[in-house]
């Protein structure tokens, strides 16, 4: 079958290993000091590895490739877990912004959010937050109340953290400026994790329709019934609907 799959430019690869660490499916390995796609059927085509590469050696191509085999990936993960420690992202090399990290649990974020110098508080529960950077699977997704928000919404409303991010896992994006469609990755996030509910926050501008459509498409394609709502903000921060 012809499908989207990664391609690694061996000339550009500096051997840092960040992409191999970021690949949750184990499709990438280090061979002779260079990142290599080990098996086509382990690559899901979602590209969690792309933003970790510091040299831009990874890109998507459309070519003949074996279909993604989720069962084989899960079997490999189960085998790897026997008597082995979890794989860690290298402390150096790659993009630090793509390293998945739980900042606080939802309960902790509610009870004791991180304070900053002016007395305001943060309710951000995890990192990263950008849809393009966030991993498809992470412990903090399970049982989560998920917030998918357009970039500009947090700047339009002063109490955005308290009103929308509190007790939520937050994903942000801008469908006008970011390349590609979020729908495929969001579908996999909803499909692979136990998401309890979904809130979409967008601005009252046409380009924000893209993030709403992507989330709605993901909800349909996930095959799950997940309670959801859309909140639209005016440019003055007022809630319109």
pLDDT tens track for 170-193:
999 998 888 778 898 999 999 999
**184 vs 45: CA distance, rounded Å:** 10
Q: Does the pLDDT of residue 134 top 60, yes or no?
A: yes
Q: Which two tokens stand for residue 172?
A: 């942000």
Give CA–CA dist 46/87, Å, rounded.
20
- For residue 88, name the pLDDT band (cuts at 50, 70, 90): very low
- pTM equals 0.63
Q: Between vectors from CA 198 to CA 194 and to CA 203, what angle results, nearest 5°?
A: 150
Average pLDDT over residues 129-153: 91
pLDDT band at 118 (very low <50, low <70, confident <90, very high): low
Q: What's the CA dihedral at 37, 13, 97, 127 to 10 degrees? A: 10
């Amino acid at each position: 079958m012809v499908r989207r799959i990664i391609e690694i430019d061996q000339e550009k690869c500096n051997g840092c290993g960040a992409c191999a660490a970021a690949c949750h499916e184990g499709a990438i390995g280090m061979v002779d000091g260079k990142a290599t796609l080990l098996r086509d059927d382990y690559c899901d085509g979602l590209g969690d590895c792309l933003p970790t590469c510091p040299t831009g050696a990874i890109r998507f191509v459309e070519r003949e490739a074996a279909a993604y085999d989720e069962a084989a990936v899960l079997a490999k993960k189960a085998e790897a877990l026997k008597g082995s420690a979890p794989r860690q992202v290298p402390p150096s090399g790659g993009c630090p912004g793509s390293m998945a990290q739980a900042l606080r649990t939802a309960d902790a974020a509610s009870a004791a959010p991180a304070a900053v110098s002016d007395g305001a508080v943060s309710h951000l529960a995890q990192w990263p937050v950008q849809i393009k950077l966030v991993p498809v699977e992470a412990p903090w997704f399970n049982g989560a109340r998920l917030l998918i928000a357009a970039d500009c919404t947090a700047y339009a409303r002063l109490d955005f953290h308290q009103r929308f991010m509190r007790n939520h896992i937050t994903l942000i994006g801008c469908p006008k400026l970011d390349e590609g469609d979020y729908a495929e990755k969001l579908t996999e996030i909803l499909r692979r994790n136990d998401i309890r509910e979904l809130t979409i926050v967008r601005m009252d501008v046409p380009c924000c329709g893209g993030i709403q459509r992507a989330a709605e498409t993901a909800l349909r394609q996930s095959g799950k019934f997940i309670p959801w709502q859309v909140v639209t903000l005016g440019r003055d921060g007022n809630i319109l609907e």
